[in-house]
Amino acid sequence: MAPHAAAFELFGIRFFEDQADRDADAVIVDPHTYSAEIVTGATGALEGAIRNASALVADQDEPASGAAGLLAKARGDYRRITAALYGEGYYGGTVNILVNGVEAANIPPDARLPNPAAIQIHVSPGPEFRFNRLVIVNQAPPTLDPGDEVPEPTTLGYANGAVARSGVVTRAEASAIEAWRQQGYAKAEVASREVVADHANNTVDVTITIAPGRPARFGPIRVQGTERMDPAFVARQTGLTEGEEYDPDELALAQKRLDRLEVFRAARLEAAREIGADGLLPYTLIVQEQPGRRFGVGASFSTVDGLGVEAYHLWRNLFGQAERLRLDARVAGIGFPVETEEFDYFFGGTFTKPGMFTPDTDLVATVSAERTVLDTYTETSAGGRVGLTHIFSDHITAEAGALVEVSRFDDDFGTRDFTIAGAYGGITFDNRDNPLDATEGFYASAQIEPFYEFNYGNPAARAIIEGRTYFGFGDNDRVVLAGRIRAGALLGPDLEEIPPDRLFFAGGGGSVRGYAFKSIGVDGPGDIVTGGRYLLEGSIEARVKVTGDIGVVGFLDGGYVAADTFPGIEDLRLGAGIGLRYATGLGPIRADLAIPLNKRDGDPDYALYIGIGQAF
């Protein structure tokens, strides 16, 4: 072996020292392997709780850090397993941990142990204990405000005769504290807890004493950590009003408002230690800002509609009050062979000003220009919208504003120009558990758009309603049934005097799969296909998880478009197929293969759609 290069020390400073020298000075701990076995008469949930509590069992595939590390882990298991027994209502149990036949608690930390070591964990749970005498001293008085109600401790298992699980006691304490907090007592806390186990009768008596403290009102908010953000705006955006009665629900809502600004990596409200003599409770809002810019790219593919690529660039906090500017660009309809004159182009910008009038109201302004080439028409247009979006609750959002648009369309009616001005409004209810991959909940929306078209001098109005629902079954919602229905109506002049993009079409990945995008319309004389005045479409899906990340889907879509009256059922266009899903952090990657069940001349034999997120 080659000699090791030496280091030397002068006045306490080491020269020519390499990593090997430093490693030589480190304390060397030999890894210590072991096997662990649980011996107990417990079964079912209790046996599972004991096994899950043992670090020795959980980590036995990883060597311990020497004999001392193994003994430390064993001593910790006494505490962990005892806590697990208490958690299941067993207060008279015994735990013995034997390392090669010797009680681990009696082995000195510097003892030498066989390597590998054999460990047996003997657990005798003893009898199950039940609650007997339960008292909560200083329980909050009943409230007349439904928003301040909290679960009664009895509904949490804190009742005479119930199994005396330790977790029930802590949940009862949390409920008792929250009841005071909901009534304005911000510093309510547990003053004392007395738990007495009667081993003769296998019962537990519990006395919880609550110290409610003084009622509080929200005090001033001091903002800490801002760099580009306006601190005064950040404080106002919480919606907390100085002098208003303390309410933990208002604090939770303030946190949501801050998160919606999309400018903070972290934002945390910290209450002062004490309520002031004036009854005010000051807060410090500690924030950490995100970078001011963000960009992203995406793509979608359909065998009938071609390839689409898109990108966006987002600027956050333009002027110090969380203003956002997002620019979007998209090129779609890319087929093979490549024909650039058939491409679709879109470019648009969206400016959002949060906190307009109220912390829950945003000003939103958009401008866009596009060229879209479809089988039914070609559109070249530019327009803009400006309006307000208001968030009423976690589930309800509304919007309203004004719009203008100029456009040119080439279709079976020839080349036509339109200029419209109007208004828009809508309301959305959404309580889905995950918008990208819902397993339960409902989504419902209603939109209306009255407008006036100047070239032909016609007033018109367009309305759309949509509903979606989801039902999960089995462990971890292994099977999900999903349904969607959408209906639209347009009131106005003859079809040839209405901009085609305001008429209704069906077909495509988000509509009736198996048909080309917006290929289902109203059949006119000859081969003319136009948009319709009425729309009705729906979908049903069965989504089944095969593994944790992979799922399969079966679906049936249907829809039709009418000019003035709905056609017969024979004109309903149906598409069916199967799909594959692969779960990612951004939502499931979707691949759907669909066929038109009652195809017409010119419809494809099948269609393949690839994208991110469920179809609805």
Evaluate the CA torsion angle 557, 563, 565, 569 in order and state its sign: negative
Supply the pLDDT for residue 531. Answer: 87
Give me the chain's average pLDDT, please: 90
Listed residue (393, 385, 381) closest to 421, CA to CA: 385
Give 99-113 pLDDT, tens digit per residue.
999 999 999 988 888
Q: What distances in angstroms separate CA 358 from CA 262, 345, 352, one per listed residue?
A: 17, 37, 14
Residue 484 has pLDDT above 80, yes or no: yes
Mean pLDDT of the 418-444 span: 95
Mean pLDDT of the 409-419 span: 89
Mean pLDDT of the 81-100 span: 95
Rounded to an integer, what distance in angstroms lies between the CA atom of residue 578 and that of residue 514? Answer: 11
Highest average pLDDT, of 9-13, 23-27, 454-458, comes from 454-458
Residue 90 has pLDDT above 80, yes or no: yes
Mean pLDDT of the 399-420 span: 93
Print burial letters for 368-391: b (CB count within 10 Å at least 16), e (below 16). Answer: bebebbbbbbbbbbebebebbbbb
Residue 448 has pLDDT above 50, yes or no: yes
Q: For residues 567 and 327, which has the higher predicted lDDT (pLDDT)?
A: 327
Mean pLDDT of the 225-231 span: 94
Residue 167 has pLDDT above 90, yes or no: yes
Residue 255 phi, psi (nearest 5): -65, -40
DSSP per-residue letters across 169-192: HHHHHHHHHHHHHHTT-TT-EEEE
Mean pLDDT of the 382-394 span: 96
Percent of the residues in the chain that have a pLDDT greater than 70, as a whole number = 94
**Residues pairing with 310 in the sheet:** 298, 330
Highest average pLDDT, of 107-111, 419-423, 605-609, comes from 419-423
Residue 191 has pLDDT above 60, yes or no: yes
Q: For residues 524 and 241, which has the higher predicted lDDT (pLDDT)?
A: 241
Supply the pLDDT for residue 15. Answer: 40
Supply the pLDDT for residue 525. Answer: 65
Amino acid making up residue 413 = F
Rounded to an integer, what distance in angstroms lies between the CA atom of residue 161 and that of residue 171? Answer: 17
For strands 280-289 and 217-224, give the pairing: parallel
Mean pLDDT of the 402-418 span: 92
Give 285-302 pLDDT, tens digit per residue.
999 999 888 888 888 887
414 touches 393 (CB < 8 A): no
Q: How far is CA 351 from the centre of its chain?
A: 24
Supply the pLDDT for residue 568. Answer: 62
* Confidence band of 2 (pLDDT split at 50, 70, 90): very low
Q: For residues 569 and 359, which has the higher predicted lDDT (pLDDT)?
A: 359
For strands 102-103 and 94-99, give the pairing: antiparallel
- Pair of tokens at residue 20: 């090997």
Supply the pLDDT for residue 432. Answer: 96
217 touches 280 (CB < 8 A): yes
Listed residue (199, 205, 200) closest to 91, CA to CA: 199
Listed residue (210, 518, 172, 252) closest to 374, CA to CA: 518
Determine if the pTM surpasses 0.85. Answer: no
Mean pLDDT of the 231-240 span: 96
Give 529-541 pLDDT, tens digit per residue.
788 999 999 999 9
Q: For residues 248 and 7, which has the higher predicted lDDT (pLDDT)?
A: 248
Listed residue (177, 185, 102, 184) closest to 136, CA to CA: 177
DSSP per-residue letters across 333-393: EE-SS--GGG-EEEEEEEEEES-SSSTTEEEEEEEEEEEEE-SS-EEEEEEEEEEEEEE-S
Cβ-count burial of 614 within 10 angstroms (0-12 exposed, 13-18 middle, 19+ buried)? buried
Percent of the residues in the chain that have a pLDDT greater than 90, as a whole number = 72
Block residue for tokens 């430093």: 22
Supply the pLDDT for residue 567. Answer: 58
Print burial letters for 310-332: b (CB count within 10 Å at least 16), e (below 16). Answer: eebebebbeeebbbbebebebbb
Residue 24 has pLDDT above 60, yes or no: no
Residue 28 has pLDDT above 60, yes or no: no
Q: What distances in angstroms separate CA 353 from CA 111, 386, 584, one per listed residue?
A: 67, 11, 31
577 touches 514 (CB < 8 A): yes
Residue 21 has pLDDT above 60, yes or no: no
* Confidence band of 569 (pLDDT split at 50, 70, 90): low
Supply the pLDDT for residue 550. Answer: 95
With vertex at residue 349, the alpha carbon angle to CA 288 and CA 232, rounded to the nearest 5 degrees, is 35
Residue 11 has pLDDT above 60, yes or no: no
Rounded to an integer, what distance in angstroms lies between the CA atom of residue 35 and that of residue 28? Answer: 23
Mean pLDDT of the 343-357 span: 95
Supply the pLDDT for residue 351. Answer: 98
Residue 98 has pLDDT above 50, yes or no: yes
Rounded to an integer, what distance in angstroms lies between the CA atom of residue 51 and that of residue 81? Answer: 8
Residue 27 has pLDDT above 70, yes or no: no
Supply the pLDDT for residue 566. Answer: 64
Listed residue (430, 441, 435) closest to 398, CA to CA: 430
Supply the pLDDT for residue 17. Answer: 45
Mean pLDDT of the 215-232 span: 95
Mean pLDDT of the 446-475 span: 96
* Confidence band of 610 (pLDDT split at 50, 70, 90): confident
